[in-house]
Structure 1
Amino acid sequence: MAEPLPDAALDRLFRTSRSYNGYLDTPVAESDLRAIYDLMKFGPTAANQQPVRIVWCVSQEAKDRLAACASATNAAKISKAPVAVVLGMDLEFYEKLHKTFPHTDAKAWFMKKDGTPNEAAVEESAFRNSSLQGAYFLLAARAVGLDVGPMSGFDAAKVDAAFFAGQPVKVNFIATLGHGDPASIFDRLPRLDFEEATRIA
């Protein structure tokens, strides 16, 4: 039986970590990005679909290109961050199921009888499972000592055109990444109590 994580780890992953609006002038190495992915890829998805597709915006040109797709407030955060991240969902994830779920023909689950994709089923599954992977991304970044600022407030069509043109990929959400500047955050907002958000059936 697995032992609970120590409080220091739980604090880092959940209790004391925050969503950051700004970052210290400390670089993020490519090895950090690889370490994040190498953790998050082990998070479970339905039938091991792994539909998330990530663009790490490291260059200023890429960050500015993403900033041009975002609201004014978010644009400033994106341009100044050490790394900005586009988390997309592959709407042809089923083409890789022969590798990720090899013991059966899982691709067939997403095809109609005429052999064309069941677009509603594909998009629902891609969105759900890439969202799960997005959450794993946040926790993996925290686990390797980095901070994250996930955000909405962007034009999805513009992001898709800027980063996924000609690909069967659509953006799910975007984020900034780096070593968080404590001066950029506000007091923690309230969370719902157990009784407000859950029930035992």
Structure 2
Amino acid sequence: MAVQRPVLDPAALDLLFHEARTHFAWLDRPVEDSVLRELYALVRMPPTGANAQPLRLVFVKSREAKERLKPALFPANVDKTLGAPVTAIVAYDTEYYEKMPKLFPARDWKTQMLALPAEVRQKQALQNSTLQAGYLILAARALGLDCGPMGGFDAAKVDAAFFPDGKWKSTLLINLGYGDPQKLFPRNPRLDFDEACRID
């Protein structure tokens, strides 16, 4: 007998995928700190390799913090970022293995990870934190927030301004807030299954 899998209803799928859009302009509506805490409570739950959870986030909200971020932004991203209620700096912890005794107490992952070459640890941190950034976008949408992810910034400048000890490394910025639907442009096409996938 087939097991019945729970399936989200069409409205939920629209919220997360079909109707969700990348936003560049924002309504004048703040994002409360409690929402950001709820957001992270969701982001931390899906899988990462060995439960390592290397993602680190800085939620840039204050005017002072936005001004520190501004010099790192590519020109096309300045207005959309300064206008967003929150910009999440997505980063990974280069010493993520230090948390492994807490995150995977049944196995000595810290010792095993320290035995790996540094470039392997960095690759694992980048891969898993990028995976978590995808979770963040979906979790934000599930909480009614809109997102504007972008790579148009100077990571070295962000790291110097926000992570001067060098332990965290930025990889992505995600503007968060309540997007202005009047300023969206038509959605670009997506690839069809046969263009992007195969079943072997």
2:193 is matched with 194
Aligned to 2:177: 178
Contact conserved, 1:81 with 1:176, CA < 8 A, in 2? yes
Aligned length: 197
Provide Cα deviations, 1:119-158, integer angstroms capped at 9, x if missing partner: 1111100000000100000001000000010001100100
Unaligned 5+ segments in structure 2 are: none
The corresponding residue for 1:139 is 138
Shift of residue 77 of structure 1? 1.2
- Pick the aligned partner of 1:56 from 53, 59, 62: 59
Partner of 2:136, secondary structure, is helix
Distance 2:187 2:112 in 1: 43
Q: Show CA shifts across 1:169-197 (max 9, x none).
A: 10010011100111232111100000010
Counterpart in 2 of 1:84?
A: 87
Following TM superposition, by how much is the alpha carbon of 1:4 offset from its aligned partner in structure 2, in angstroms? 0.7
The separation in 2 between residues aligned to 1:9 and 1:24, in whole angstroms, is: 23
**Counterparts of 2:70 and 2:121 in 1: how far apart (Å)?**
29
Q: Which residue is equivalent to 2:161?
A: 162
For residue 76 of structure 2, the aligned residue among 69, 73, 77 is: 73
Contact 1:97 1:107 in 2 (8 A): yes
Q: Determine helix, strand or coil for the equivalent of 1:130.
A: helix
| Residue of structure 2 in register with 1:93 after alignment | 96
AA at the equivalent of 2:84: A
| Pairwise CA distance, 1:61 | 1.2
Q: Take 1:143 and 1:30, find their aligned partners in 2: how far apart are those partners? A: 16
Q: Return the offset for 1:118.
A: 2.1
1:23 and 1:179 in contact (8 A); partners too: yes
TM-score by length of 1: 0.95
Q: What amino acid is the match of 1:37?
A: Y
After TM superposition, the runs of 4+ consecutive aligned structure 1 residues lying more than 6 A away are: none
User: Residue 20 of structure 1 contacts residue 181 of structure 1 at CA under 8 Å; is this kept in 2?
Assistant: yes
Structure 2 letter corresponding to 1:46: G
Structure 2-normalised TM-score?
0.95
Query: For 1:68, what is the secondary structure of its paired residue?
Result: helix
1:72 shift after superposition? 1.0
Q: Write out per-residue CA displacement over residues 19-77 of structure 1, whole angstroms, 9 at most, x where no aligned residue.
A: 10011001110011011101111011000010000000010111121121011111111
The residue identity in structure 1 corresponding to 2:124 is S
Q: Are the equivalent residues in 2 in contact too, given 1:63–1:83 (CA < 8 A)?
A: no
Aligned partner letter, 2:140: A
Structure 1: segments with no counterpart, 5+ residues: none
